[in-house]
Amino acid sequence: MPLLDIHAHILPHVFLDMVNSGKIDGVSLVHRANGTIAVDFPAGTHPCSPVFYDEHAQLALMDEHGIDLQAVSVSPRLFFYEMPAETASTLCRLFNDEILQRCRLHSSRFLPIGGLPMQDPHASVAEIRRLAQNGVQMVQVGTSVAGLPLDDARFLPVFEAAEEMGMAIMLHPLITGGGPLARAHHLSNVADNPYQTMLAASSLIAGGVFDRFGGLQVMLVHGGGYLPYQAGRLDHAFHVRPAGEFSCRREPSSYIRSNLWFDALVFRPEALNLLLSMAGEDRICYGTDAPYDMADYAQLERFTSRLARDKAAFENAKSLLGL
């Protein structure tokens, strides 16, 4: 059984070249005293070791962990939703083109996940159609866009186009710094990332997006954040809160098995068992978050069912991506 990693990131060469030449405002390369390089963003620094931009280093990492095929997307630092729409659209196309080129050169090892300039829904729709014409089956979208929730009406054309083109969406948390309470102990990642995913998925469900676009399929990374654990709270609110607060037509948890997919990046067998009980074994995929230090390559060891393990290793991602 081949192993497909559905959740991994890169820094495109074109991005690093632009940073090095000072073409992206507020972003610069930092040469550290220990000889390493990082990318300095307004919200913090990003590692820049070869595994983030050199496909040969990335292939070596995949081989080390027995990964046969990897779906790659840009680092969420590169969403750039606060940029002017025209600039973001240009960058997005450049990043997508490089990912497509990498995947063509190593077609047996890499699959493309595209990006969208979500602050410009019209451009995002056009990019979905362009990517679909190039064989892309999934796009990555941040958990919010310049402070707007994903169920905001201006994003509906994006979800409509994704459904029409059979394009799955991967929701990924933004790199925000998490606010003053999350600045220590890496809590901006550990605690805020799962919170963002819960909030975004809940907005799509409660906002009625899946009722409008029943065929839309959305992958939630990091095991769906807090959603599997707190889905019952959503259901309770659906029944007791005043009419009109929820736009969905049925209990929120019911959308988990019709419209949502999950990676198995939960670190503990107890958490995986909860996720399996909520989502079922047909909607969970192996996804490492490589090459970050928060990556987890041991997910399959936590499955007690061989059938569920084999599905997570390849078959579920194959189904989602239409391979």
Of 317, 318, 319, 299, residue with least CA distance to 309: 299
pTM score = 0.96
Query: Quick one: average pLDDT of 116-141?
Result: 98
pLDDT 10s digits, 260-286:
999 999 999 999 999 999 999 999 999
- What's the pLDDT at 70? 98
The whole-chain average pLDDT of the chain stands at: 95
Tell me the CA distances in angstroms from 280 to 8, 126, 283, 284, one per residue in order. Answer: 23, 34, 6, 7
Give the span between the Cα atoms of 263 and 290, in whole angstroms: 13
Residue 225 has which token pair? 């954040």
Q: pLDDT confidence of 109, banded at 50, 70, 90?
A: very high
- What's the pLDDT at 44? 85
Domains of the chain: 4-10+66-321 (3.20.20.140)
